[in-house]
Each structure stands twice: as C-alpha cells, then as structure tokens.
C-alpha cells in the first residue's frame, strides 16, 4: 500500500473514530449533517495539519469538534461534557489495545512504521470504539429519559472540572509519548495512569447519577406532600361549602314554599335558575370530582391525579372521573407509577385542549385481581402510527420533545404484571393500564 494512499485511508478511518466517539454519547443527539460536518473538520485537520503538528493536533480536533457540538444544540454544556467523555473512552480503548500488543511483543513503533499494520490497527480500533460508544450512549440516553435525571449546577461543575483535568492529562501524556517514541515503559505507565483516571471518572459519574436519582426522589416526595396538602384543604373547603349549603337549605325551601303558595311560577323559575342551580353546580362539578379522589387510598396515585386534574380544570376541560371501588394498594413502584400516570395525563390534557370537544375521562376499576386505570381524551387528528408514538423524539404535539411516552414505555417494560394498551378511534385517544396484583404475577 502506497504511503499517500495509506495516509489518506488511515486519516479517513481515524476521523470516523473520533467523530463517533464524540457524538455517540451525546444525551441530545445531533443531526446527520452536523455529524458529517464534524467528520469533515476532523478529516481536514488530520490530512493538512497532523503531519506538521503531530499529536498536538489533538487540541485542534477536540477543541473544534466541541465548538461545533456546542453551537449546534441549546444543551451545549451537557453535550460538550459527554463529547469529552466519549473522547476519554476512545483513548482508554486505544491504550488497552496498545498494551495488549506490547504484551504479545508488538510495539507502537512496529505498528506505526508499517502502513498495513497501522491501517488494520486503525480499523479494529475504530470498530471497537464505535460499538462501545454507541452501546454506552444508548444506555445513558435510556437511563436519563427513563428516570428524567437532571444535573444540578454543583454536580455539573464538579464533573466538568474532573473531565477537563482528565482530558488535559491524557493529551499531555500522549504528546510526551510521541516525543519519546512510545517506549514500552511509558506505554505501561500511561495505561495504568489512564486506566486509573478512567475508573475514577466513571465512579464519580455513576455516583453523581445516584445523587441525582436521590434528589429526584426527594423532589417527588416534596411535590407529593404539597399536592396532598392542597387536596386536604380542598376537601375541607368542600365540607365547609356543604355545611353552608345545609344551613341555607331551610331558607331555600321556605322561599320556594312562598312562591308555590302564591302560585308565582315565574318568580319560582327565576329563583331556581339564579339561586339553586349555581349552588348545585358549585357542589357537583369541581368539588364532586375532587371528592371522588377520596376512594383512592394510595397517596402517591391520589397526589398525581389531584395535581393533573386541577391543571385540567384550570384549562376548562370537560372532565369525567369514575372510581368504582376503593383502591387500597397497587403492585407497582410508586415513583414509576407516578411518572407513567403523569406522562399519560400530560399528553391527555394537551391533546384534549387542542381538540374541539375538550373531553377528558379517567376511570379506575379495582378488584382482587388487578387495578385498571383508563385515561381517555378527545384529540385532534393524529397523522402518525400508534406504535411510533413510543419511539424516542416522536410526538404528535408541536413543540414537545417526545420523551414522555418513550420513558413511560421503558418503565412499563420492567413489569411483567402490567398490561398496557393504546387505542385511537374516532378522534378519541385511550391509554389503558391494567396492573395485576403481586400474588398473580411477579414484578421483574
């Protein structure tokens, strides 16, 4: 293989490697044209500047790629962080391969001085890096979507600082290794150093994820407590309104008796329409819906339904709530259940608000075998397949991310005792969730 041809082929492969490593881990994936632009940028750096700069080209390729990633997405801090993580993974894989070759008697010089060996090494290195980064990136996106994890400012600052320090140390050692000809001692030293930093980095990362998950649980408990306090206050207000209505009941009957005795039908009709009907509606509409939640003894479910129903009422939706029996327990993790019901209710409210009928129906059925939750709503015309709405980044609502139903579906996949179905007929969208009791089906 000629030197010029091998140089171009190796540059093509290496550019693909670093582009994949720095984009596969992104929590907010880039469009294909942006990835292509990053690839071309790295390729140009490899072809025109790498021969003169050597490993110093790292600062240009990594820095330029980070700038492109940051400029192409509003989540530039998070994406830049995970792009650097991808680079660290690529370097770690490189040193694993180089250390393995040294152990079997093949030095870095042996590889780089032979174009055929160097090309084979580059291809193997690229394939492994692409597979590892793609799988790990998919795992991270599913994890963040499923648990709706959000970096706090403190954790993000700590992690970015640690990643920048690691990247700088890696780059410095790579440059020093090139200047000294990659002797075996330095290869082993760098492998141990990089491996240690790599392990520490990912321990910090997963420890940070654990903290974020705990913070999310605390926030969930806080919101649940707030919703329950509002619910208790609402029930107390309903009780006070009932007492007032009971107190006024005798006066109302006396007034009606007066009109009846005088055969004053016109004034009786007026009194009924202006005094009795408004009072009746006040007791039977919003308060009736809130009162029905008393049949739910599972506080977490009551809390999320209360919060979403108040939101639906504020948006003037026509709400029907039916709870046929008391619900005392549900065989599902409460945080998972609240996340799923919250996502279903959010979608139902948004769709109902955009429809002509503005209808929202919530039905809960309890028996010894299962709890069935039905959320049904009027909806505008949906022009995508039902199966597709659970895919990531797919939504039938303008301006929405499409992660709500996707993350809900990932949560439900964990449970063998949960049967979930979706239907859309005659502009009515229905989500049905049947949660079998634990003694029938074990939770995965």
CATH of residue 314's domain is: 3.30.565.10
231, part of any domain: no
**Each residue of 346-378: pLDDT tens digit?**
989 999 999 999 999 999 998 888 999 999 999
396, part of any domain: yes
Q: Are strands 370-378 and 428-436 parallel, antiparallel or unpaired?
A: antiparallel
310 in the same domain as 187: no
Tell which of 203, 219, 235 closes a domain. Answer: 219
**Each residue of 205-230: pLDDT tens digit?**
888 878 877 777 777 777 777 766 77
211 in the same domain as 325: no
242, part of any domain: no
Average pLDDT over all residues of the chain: 81
pLDDT at site 159:
78
180 in the same domain as 33: yes
Q: How confident is the model at residue 433 (pLDDT cuts 50, 70, 90)?
A: very high
Tell which of 219, 236, 253 closes a domain. Answer: 219
**Domain that includes residue 371, residue range:** 294-444
434, part of any domain: yes
For the ranges 177-181, 242-246, 262-266, 420-424, the lowest mean pLDDT is seen at: 242-246
69 in the same domain as 197: yes
Q: What is the mean pLDDT of residues 400-426?
A: 80
193 in the same domain as 338: no
Q: 434 — phi, psi (to 5°)? A: -110, 115
**Is residue 147 scored above 70 in pLDDT?**
no
Residue 160, C-beta contacts closer than 8 angstroms, at least 6 positions apart? 77, 81
**Is residue 283 scored above 80 in pLDDT?**
no
| 57-66, 120-129, 261-270, 326-335, range with greatest mean pLDDT | 120-129
28, part of any domain: yes
pLDDT at site 443:
40
3 vs 15: which has the higher pLDDT: 15
285, part of any domain: no
355, part of any domain: yes
178 in the same domain as 37: yes
Q: How many domains does the chain have?
A: 2
pLDDT at site 44:
92
Tell which of 196, 219, 242 closes a domain. Answer: 219
211 in the same domain as 314: no
**Is residue 117 scored above 70 in pLDDT?**
yes
151 in the same domain as 44: yes
């Amino acid at each position: 293989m000629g030197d010029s041809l091998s140089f171009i082929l190796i540059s093509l492969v290496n550019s693909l490697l670093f582009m994949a490593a720095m984009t596969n881990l992104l929590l907010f994936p880039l469009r294909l044209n942006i990835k292509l632009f990053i690839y071309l940028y790295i390729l140009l750096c490899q072809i025109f500047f790498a021969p003169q700069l050597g490993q110093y080209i790292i600062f240009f390729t990594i820095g330029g790629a980070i700038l492109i990633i940051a400029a192409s997405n509003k989540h530039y801090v998070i994406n830049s962080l995970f792009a650097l993580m991808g680079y660290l993974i690529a370097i770690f894989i490189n040193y694993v391969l180089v250390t393995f070759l040294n152990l079997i008697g093949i030095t870095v010089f042996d590889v780089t001085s032979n174009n055929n060996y160097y090309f084979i090494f580059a291809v193997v290195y690229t394939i492994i890096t692409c597979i590892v980064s793609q799988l790990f990136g998919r795992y991270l996106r599913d994890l963040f979507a499923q648990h709706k994890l959000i970096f706090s400012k403190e954790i993000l600052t700590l992690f970015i600082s640690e990643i920048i320090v690691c990247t700088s140390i890696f780059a410095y050692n790579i440059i020093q290794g090139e200047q000294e000809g990659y002797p075996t001692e330095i290869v082993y030293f760098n492998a141990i150093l990089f491996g240690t930093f790599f392990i520490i980095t990912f321990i910090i990362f997963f420890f940070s994820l654990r903290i974020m998950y705990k913070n999310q649980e605390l926030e969930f408990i806080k919101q649940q407590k707030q919703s329950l306090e509002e619910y208790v206050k609402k029930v107390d207000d309903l009780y006070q309104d009932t007492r007032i209505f009971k107190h006024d009941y005798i006066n109302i009957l006396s007034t009606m008796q007066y009109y009846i005795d005088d055969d004053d039908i016109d004034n009786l009709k007026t009194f009924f329409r202006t005094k009795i009907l408004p009072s009746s509606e006040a007791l039977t509409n919003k308060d009736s819906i809130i009162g029905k939640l008393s049949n739910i003894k599972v506080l977490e479910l009551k809390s999320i339904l209360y919060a979403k129903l108040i939101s639906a009422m504020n948006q003037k939706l026509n709400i029907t709530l039916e709870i046929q029996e008391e619900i005392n327990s549900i065989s599902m993790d409460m945080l998972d259940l609240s996340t799923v019901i919250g996502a279903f209710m959010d979608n139902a409210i948004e769709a109902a608000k955009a429809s002509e009928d503005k209808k929202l129906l919530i039905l809960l059925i309890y028996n010894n075998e299962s709890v069935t939750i039905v959320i049904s709503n009027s909806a505008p015309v949906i022009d995508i397949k039902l199966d597709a709405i659970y895919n990531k980044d797919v939504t039938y609502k303008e301006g929405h991310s499409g992660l709500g139903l996707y993350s809900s579906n990932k949560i439900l996949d964990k449970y063998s005792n949960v049967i979930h179905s979706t239907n859309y007929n005659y502009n009515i969208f229905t989500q049905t969730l049947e949660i079998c009791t634990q003694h029938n089906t074990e939770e995965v």
